[in-house]
Amino acid sequence: MKKASALIASHVSKSFQLDKSKAVSVLKDISLTARYGEFISILGVSGSGKSTLLKCISSLLEPTSGDVMINDVAPYKLNNRKLAKLRQENISFIFQSYNLVPALPVIENIALPLHLSHKKVNKQEIRDLLRQMKFQADMNSFVNTLSGGEQQKVAIARAILSDSQLIFADEPTGALDSTSREVIFDLLRDMANRGKCVFMVTHDIELASYTDRALVLKDGNIYKELQAPSAQDLYQALEIDKHN
């Protein structure tokens, strides 16, 4: 039986040193808890700290202060080998930069995390998922020959088929057309419905309105936390006039 809490962040702050005498504070004393089966969106204007927060809570970027627990394990207190094992067994990432391997074709890029964690690779399952995602390119082509949108689909398919318990997605639908965007969102929604914990940084208010909870960041703080947010709630929290 899964633990109730997938992730706990306590008083997390993050600063970056610009030079010897100057630092910039990006996150300020953020605390949150996430449960399995939750789909959580993170929103805010550019520079509000969304991507930094995602990196800090997902084991990729150590906070300047505060604590993070993933499945009751403190990732930043692990050595490199144990941290790699925690990620392989528990976490999938969808990056804005895709983080694909140019020397590998589409199918092998998707299968790579499965190989690394010694899981079975079902190439037909990969093909079926790509078709469901409206993937248009040759599945045996090298990823550096693909458009940004097709590369994004490969990165998302890789995360989905890794079957991890926690999924951290940074603007996963940013390079996609409206049809593909809805397909990808539905796949992420389905993962949460099946008991995974999904975090999604997004600018897409309409999609965020279908998540279970929205964290609205402002100046490095959680300015608003909305349960079952409506689009209107999110527009108001972000101080956006949707008629403009």
Residues in the chain: 244
For the residues 105-123, what does the mean pLDDT come to? Answer: 90
The reply to whether 205 falls in a domain is yes
pLDDT at 243 over 60: no
pLDDT tens, residue by residue, 67-103 = 999 999 999 999 999 999 999 889 999 988 888 999 8
pLDDT at 2 over 60: no
Please report the pLDDT score of residue 173 as a whole number: 86
pTM of the model: 0.90
The reply to whether 151 falls in a domain is yes
Q: How far is CA 197 from the centre of its chain?
A: 10
The reply to whether 244 falls in a domain is no
pLDDT at 1 over 50: no
Q: What is the 3-state secondary structure (H, E, C) of the chain?
A: CCCCEEEEEEEEEEEEEEECCEEEEEEEEEEEEEECCCEEEEECCCCCCHHHHHHHHCCCCCCCEEEEEECCECHHHCCHHHHHHHHHHHEEEECCCCCCCCCCEHHHHHHHHHHHCCCCCCHHHHHHHHHHCCCCCCCCCEHHHCCHHHHHHHHHHHHHHCCCCEEEEECCCCCCCHHHHHHHHHHHHHHHHCCCEEEEECCCHHHHCCCCEEEEEECCEEEEEEECCCHHHHHHHCCCCCCC
Phi-psi sector, 195: left (phi>0), alpha (psi -120 to 50), beta = left
For residue 153, the domain's CATH number is 3.40.50.300
The reply to whether 85 falls in a domain is yes
pLDDT tens, residue by residue, 126-184 = 999 999 999 989 999 999 999 988 999 999 999 999 989 999 999 998 878 888 889 99
The reply to whether 242 falls in a domain is no
Q: What is the residue-averaged pLDDT of the chain?
A: 92
Please report the pLDDT score of residue 242 as a whole number: 60
Query: Cα separation of 97 and 5, whole Å?
Result: 29
The reply to whether 243 falls in a domain is no
Domain that holds residue 154: 5-237
Number of folded domains that form the chain: 1
The reply to whether 164 falls in a domain is yes
Please report the pLDDT score of residue 239 as a whole number: 84
Q: How far is CA 67 from the centre of its chain?
A: 19
